[in-house]
Structure 1
Amino acid sequence: MIDFFTPELGYPALFLLSFLAATVLPLGSEWLLVAMIAGAFDPTSAVLVATAGNTLGACTTYAIGIWGGAYLIHRILRMDEASQAKAHRYYSKWGQWSLLLSWLPVIGDPLCLVGGIARVRFSFFLLLALMGKFSRYAVLAWLTLQAI
């Protein structure tokens, strides 16, 4: 049996799971972060590894939005030009800040995808996604440390 709770496998497993959880795959990485911190892994390292993996996964979803956006808009959503223009204006004005919520289950991944489709400036996308994801893992680590 593979022991994911050794330093050699724990951090890479956390990175990979956090990465995959930020794509369209229905996975969660929080349980592994909690288990690792409860198992005496360094909380700071665990939070940074999970944040890095989850943020890079969000960047992958953003890239899918950039390069697959036209297909999604025309073939899947079947939006006409007027609807696209209206959605783009609304998102440009108000929606970009929704990327702070990219850490939320269920809606976080689609927010990153829409950020790519709307062509949010990558540096802005990265900053907002990183802030949200780091905050989530930091709070989860703090709660875990309070509980043990």
Structure 2
Amino acid sequence: MTLLPLDQLAALGGLFLAAFGAATILPFQSELVFAALQLQGDILLGWIIAFASVGNTLGAVVNYVLGRGIERYRDRRWFPASATQLDRAQGWYARYGVWTLLLSWAPLGDAFTVIAGIMRTPLWLFVLLVSLAKTGRYIALAWAIGLGTG
């Protein structure tokens, strides 16, 4: 087994952190870091996709955990949604369910991951669906970048 050189590991660590932050409610973007590493061509594309996917999935787990604990504060003035909005979102999720997590890669996907926590979606199912969505997104991004360069 060959270990990655330190400079590549550091670059992948930066991508991991960017992808992690991008999946949380923080205003991060990972696509530029991903594209830069891919275009540089020094790191195997599989490593780039893996680090980005794992970081982005773990960031979504943070949202899930926030969702698990936030509902107890629904009656506070500072709560970001009214009781009616929260009830409507929960009803919507109850109707369409876990399949919305396949859209967790999309711009509003963070909301789906928080709602999944509120609705007590089983963690194993959450991680499975979000991992599929996030990895699929990075594979599609890699493909699009490859089209643009070749």
Q: Same fold (TM over 0.5)?
A: yes
Report the equivalent of 2:93.
91
- Normalising by structure 2, we get a TM-score of 0.84
Gaps (5+ residues) in structure 2?
1-6
Q: 1:9 to 1:97 in 2, by over 3 A?
A: same
Taking only aligned residues, the RMSD between alpha carbons, in angstroms, comes to 1.8
Percent pairwise identity: 34
Report the equivalent of 1:79.
83
Gaps (5+ residues) in structure 1?
1-5
| Distance (whole Å) between structure 2 residues aligned to residue 68 and residue 114 of structure 1 | 10
| Distance (whole Å) between structure 2 residues aligned to residue 79 and residue 63 of structure 1 | 20
- Alignment of structure 1 residues 116-131 onto 2, 5 Å: 116-131=117-132
Report the equivalent of 1:142.
143
| Distance (whole Å) between structure 2 residues aligned to residue 87 and residue 108 of structure 1 | 14
- Alignment of structure 1 residues 53-64 onto 2, 5 Å: 53-64=55-66
Contact conserved, 1:69 with 1:116, CA < 8 A, in 2?
A: no
* Aligned-pair CA distance for 1:85: 6.0
* Aligned-pair CA distance for 1:8: 3.4
Contact conserved, 2:89 with 2:115, CA < 8 A, in 1?
A: no
- Per-residue displacement from partner, 1:19-63 (whole Å, max 9, x unpaired)? 011111111101111110000121111001000000000001100
- Normalising by structure 1, we get a TM-score of 0.85
